[in-house]
Structure formats: C-alpha cells, structure tokens
Copies of this chain bind each other. A is one copy, B any other.
Amino acid sequence: LDPNDLPVSWGRGSVTSLQCGPEQILFHEGDEANAVYCLKSGMVKLYKSGGSGDPLIIRLVGPGHLVGYRAVLTDEPFAATAEVVGPTQVCRIPKPLFWELLETSRGFATRLARYIATELRISEEQLLAQAQHTVTDRTIRLLSLFLDEGSFEPRRDAPIHLPLLRSEFAKMVGTTPETLSRVLHRLADSGLLTLTRREIFVRDPEQLRARARRIFPRK
C-alpha cells in the first residue's frame, strides 16, 4: 500500500471534494454503491459486520488510497462500512465517472487490477493468520504491519500511535477488548511494549519485526 498509487487526474466537473470529521460515515454496508472515494488526507476505517456479531475491521485506509471501488466495480451493494477516523479530506468520484475512467484512461484498469490483487493477497494472508494463529501472534503481526507502513505518524521515540480505541484495535485483530488487553500487557511485561491509555510504544522495533517474521515468514 503506497500513497499516490493511482495518479489519476480528476479534472472533471463531477468529482467533489469533501471535508469530513470523525465518525462520519462515507457509506454503509448494504448501501447501493454509487461512488468511489479517494483519500487526500486523514484515515478511514473499513469494517463489516455481516449482520450478526461484532464488526471486524477489514482495513485502515490512508492518504492516496481508494475506498468503495470494489463494490462499484462489480456493481454490487457495498460489502462494508466506511467510517472516517480523524479529520479527513476525500474526493468523491461518482460511479459513472469511475466507469468512464476505466474505459477511456489507458492503463487505469490494469493499475486498478494490480491494486486489488495486492488487497487480495493481504486479505488472504490475514485469513490464514486468523485461521491458525493465536491472538498474541496476530497482535504482533498487526503491530509489525503498522511499523512498516509509517502511515500512522511514528514519533521519534514512540513508533506507533494509533488514533484508535483499544476496542477498535481488538476488532482489527479479531478478538475482544478484554483479551487484547491481557495480551498487550503480557507483551508489555516482557519488555517489548510500553502502554499508555491510547498509545502503544514499541520499545524494540527490531525485535518486534523479528518475532513477526518468525511467526509469519516472507514478509
């Protein structure tokens, strides 16, 4: 996931720019998909609940990335909900325009296909992790992913700062806040992390990455 991966020129009338605040919903799971959104700044979380049970956060989306393209592309209803996390600027690209881009802009469809292909790999890796690794392992994996993509404002002495509540973090790992709390504190006790109310400081980034690689090879 690298920002500005899709340098498409939006020189059309129908693209609108939106300034969004926290908790604003771009679209709901089940809604008709009539636009694609592109993040200029800020962050959006994409989660799906499937009707029953707690929602699972499918992914966090940063600047330069697209949301909603999957449903628009296949002409299905949205399969997830997109919610703004912090102050965020987005472009709204209506479906017809998106389709026009696909047909006219040379190479756009290919780039998009490649983009989705990467998402698919990530999703399948997460599926594997979910299927056969413990909460602790999955937590380490997620922390390591956050370290790698610096998109979450690493501080000088404090690599990871997430604008997420613990309960949201839990929804990304696929567990409950209670279990996540225990796991994080166990990791903190072993000296790997330092915890504050809503920040996670990684004491030893290299050791974390090493552990992640040991559990999930080839990353």
Report yes or no: B51 in contact with A121, Cβ–Cβ below 8 A.
Answer: no
**Is the CB of A56 closer than 8 A to any CB of chain B?**
yes
What's the number of copies of this chain in the assembled complex?
Answer: 2
Partner of A124, one of B48, B74, B133: B48
Q: Is the interface of A mostly helix, strand, loop or mixed?
A: helix
Report yes or no: B127 in contact with A56, Cβ–Cβ below 8 A.
Answer: yes
Report the minimal beta-carbon distance from A145 to chain B, rounded to whole angstroms: 15
**Is the CB of A215 closer than 8 A to any CB of chain B?**
yes
**Is the CB of A116 closer than 8 A to any CB of chain B?**
yes
Name A97-151 residues within 8 Å CB distance of B.
102-103, 107, 109-110, 112-114, 116-121, 123-133
List residues of A whose CB falls within 8 A of some B CB: 30, 48, 50-54, 56, 58, 69-70, 73-74, 76, 79-80, 102-103, 107, 109-110, 112-114, 116-121, 123-133, 174, 215-218
